[in-house]
Structure 1
């Protein structure tokens, strides 16, 4: 989804990840250093009373933050999450989650990304979490 042929394509990368498909996470937009993803809130991924648990909020935040780091590495490279921390800033309930990822530090072997996560209720975006992630950047060997 990026127009820069010299950098990795988060859309192509995310399309290959089975857990992204299982959760219904979709790439909304991507530009170098910034990625937006969304995910429908489904009862099978919720806890009573219709809240999304921190682990799922962390998953979509990780996808956004790490994909933003991926958008800055060269074509033929990939990234893997080394660690992440999610902080819940409010209840996560609504129709869908949106995560806006951005690169904080772009390095050759490691990068740091962040994501702000929002739940959408009746068309309004309400903050529900924030995430900080570190990636390992590596060249894909074929």
Structure 2
């Protein structure tokens, strides 16, 4: 995939670093490239629901923001991304020491990008996919912000 902004990595890094909610949760950027983005989270008790499994809201947050990061890698410098809609499939109970997320742009466009993200729980060195997000990301002019 083509990255129209040669500084896309700095833009994605800034988006992860400056998002207060991500910082509060502990989500961090792992890496990114044209059309993809990866992030991680070390699981703590605050990430669990009352039954002891990883909260769906935590899964949705890491998947949504990582999908946005992937979308930014194929977005021109004078534009930015906002999530227009997403659907998340919670595939199995989330248990583990960490979450890894990888998002991939399926189709970039001038007005919208279609992106998918997969969330994996890591336990005892094994990765298990626990959720999958499909999203539409709106491409907006920075002057609209």
2:130 alignment partner in structure 1: 128
* Bigger helix share: 2
Contact persistence 1:54–1:86 (CA under 8 A)? no
**Structure 1's 76 and 12: CA in aligned 2 closer, same or farther, altered over 3 A?**
farther
CA–CA distance in structure 1, aligned partners of residues 7 and 45 of structure 2? 40
How far apart are 1:48 and its partner, in Å? 3.5
CA–CA distance in structure 2, aligned partners of residues 91 and 39 of structure 1? 17
How far apart are 1:89 and its partner, in Å? 1.1
How far apart are 1:109 and its partner, in Å? 1.1
SS class of match (2:69): helix
CA–CA distance in structure 1, aligned partners of residues 135 and 68 of structure 2? 7
CA–CA distance in structure 1, aligned partners of residues 82 and 17 of structure 2? 15
Unaligned runs of 5+ in 2: none
- Which of 11, 14, 30 pairs up with 2:13? 11
Unaligned runs of 5+ in 1: none
2:40 alignment partner in structure 1: 38
- Which of 55, 58, 67 pairs up with 1:56? 58
> Where do 4+ consecutive residues of structure 1 move more than 2 Å?
6-9
TM-score (normalised: structure 1): 0.91
Trace 1:1-142 onto structure 2 (pairs within 5 A): 5=6, 7=8, 9-141=11-143
CA–CA distance in structure 2, aligned partners of residues 13 and 47 of structure 1? 27
CA–CA distance in structure 1, aligned partners of residues 80 and 16 of structure 2? 11
CA–CA distance in structure 1, aligned partners of residues 124 and 52 of structure 2? 15
What RMSD, in angstroms, separates the aligned Cα atoms of the two structures? Answer: 1.7
How far apart are 1:76 and its partner, in Å? 3.0
Aligned length: 140
